[in-house]
């Protein structure tokens, strides 16, 4: 099963991708996660990417396309994959099509999660992550039992630098301008399914499963 999860920051792509990984055993390829690791390691790519990420802007296409191209050639992607946060521009989508064509691994479907901006801002600004195990929380919707500490491992929780309100607004503007056109792109390809991402996590997950059961591959 080869799928893309498409939607604005905070729509639930990461949360749902983890459920797909657990259920179907295919890897999640999150360009955001890969870039954040590169920033943490202060690799040359990470140092370059950080400037864009801190401002809520997109990292240049050639950088992210290179990351994904390399990742898709790894053995574990033979059974399928979930792309989360990629593609984010039309040139990225076109490059992806070429790469997948070359690997004879066409996409099965693109699931677009739709959530309005007010809800996205509320979700992103309350989002917290455990520094140790990566578990996600939300100050209002899913608070930890002890403030600032992870329920699973006791690690300290942090807020992503780009989840500050001014940066969130910039990311949403960038999404509307550069990424939303991909909805039409994949609709024209006949592989787009739009789902209401405003519903509860489990409801959205049920709807995603129904879609994936209908996907070939
Ligand atoms: P995310 O975790 O998907 O919200 O990504 C966090 C940040 O990483 C984005 O705001 C961008 O700066 C960068 N990024 C992640 N994926 C991409 C992509 N496909 N193209 C360009 N920049 C990206």
Long-range contacts of 140-148 (CB under 8 A, 24+ apart): none
Are the C-beta atoms of 134 and 30 separated by less than 8 Å?
no
Residue reference for tokens 């898709």: 72
Q: What is the per-residue pLDDT across 146-191, written as a single tens digit (0 to 9) for each?
A: 999 999 999 999 998 889 989 999 999 999 999 999 999 999 999 9
The pLDDT score that the predictor gives to residue 216 is 61
Q: In the predicted model, what is the mean pLDDT of residues 142-147?
A: 95
Q: What is the pTM of this model?
A: 0.92
Q: Which of 10, 13, 30, 53 to mutate to test the pocket of ligand 1 (most atoms within 8 A of CB)?
A: 53
39 located within any domain? no
Q: Is residue 126 part of a domain?
A: no
DSSP 8-state secondary structure symbol assigned to residue 149: B
Q: Can 88 be counted among the known catalytic residues?
A: yes
DSSP symbol at 141: T
Instruction: Judge whether 92 lies within some domain.
Output: yes
Choosing from 2, 19, 127, 128, which is the catalytic residue?
A: 127
Atom of ligand 1 nearest to the CA of 9: 4
How many domains is the chain built from?
1
How many other C-beta atoms can be found within 10 angstroms of the C-beta atom of residue 70?
A: 11
Q: Identify the pLDDT of residue 22.
A: 96
Q: Is 124 in the pocket of ligand 1 (CB under 6 A)?
A: no
pLDDT of residue 143: 96
CATH number of the domain to which 108 belongs: 3.40.50.300
Burial class (CB in 10 A: 0-12, 13-18, 19+), 179: buried
CA distance 163 to 9: 10
Residue whose CA is at the smallest distance from ligand 1 atom 5: 32
How many angstroms separate the CA atoms of 16 and 5, rounded? Answer: 9
Q: Is residue 124 part of a domain?
A: no
- The catalytic position among 18, 71, 135, 160 is 160
Domain that holds residue 183: 2-26+79-115+179-216
Quote the CA–CA distance of 154 and 146 in Å, as a whole number.
9
Q: Is there a domain that residue 40 lies in?
A: no
Which tokens is 90 given? 């039309």
Let me know if residue 165 belongs to a domain: no
Q: Is residue 142 part of a domain?
A: no
CA of 31 to the centre of ligand 1 (A): 6
Q: How far apart are CA 128 and CA 148, in angstroms?
A: 9
Ligand 1 centroid vs 58 CA: distance in angstroms?
6
With cut-offs at 50, 70 and 90, classify the pLDDT of residue 217. low
171 is catalytic: yes
- Residue 164 maps to a domain: no
Nearest CA-CA partner of 90 in 59, 114, 61: 61
Residue 211 CB neighbours (<10 A) = 15
User: Is 123 annotated as catalytic?
Assistant: no
CB of 174 within 6 A of ligand 1: the answer is no
Contact 70, 9 (CB under 8 A): no
**Is 13 an active-site residue?**
yes
């Amino acid at each position: 099963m080869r799928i893309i999860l498409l939607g604005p920051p905070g729509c639930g792509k990461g949360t749902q991708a983890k459920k797909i990984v657990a259920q179907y055993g295919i890897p999640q390829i999150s360009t955001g996660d890969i870039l954040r690791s590169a920033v943490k390691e202060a690799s040359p790519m990470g140092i370059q990417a950080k400037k864009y990420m801190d401002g809520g802007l997109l990292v240049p296409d050639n950088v992210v396309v290179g990351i994904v191209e390399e990742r898709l050639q790894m053995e574990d992607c033979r059974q399928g994959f979930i792309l989360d946060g990629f593609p984010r521009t039309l040139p990225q989508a076109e490059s992806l099509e070429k790469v997948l064509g070359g690997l004879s691994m066409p996409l099965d479907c693109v699931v677009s999660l739709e959530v309005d901006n007010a809800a996205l801002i509320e979700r992103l600004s309350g989002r917290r992550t455990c520094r140790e195990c990566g578990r996600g929380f939300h100050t209002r919707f899913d608070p930890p039992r002890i403030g600032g500490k992870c329920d699973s491992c006791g690690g300290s929780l942090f807020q992503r630098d780009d989840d500050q309100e001014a940066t969130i607004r910039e990311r949403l503007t960038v999404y509307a301008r550069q990424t939303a056109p991909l909805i039409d792109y994949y609709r024209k390809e006949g592989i787009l399914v739009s789902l209401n991402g405003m519903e509860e996590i489990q409801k959205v997950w049920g709807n995603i499963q129904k879609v994936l059961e209908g996907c070939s591959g």
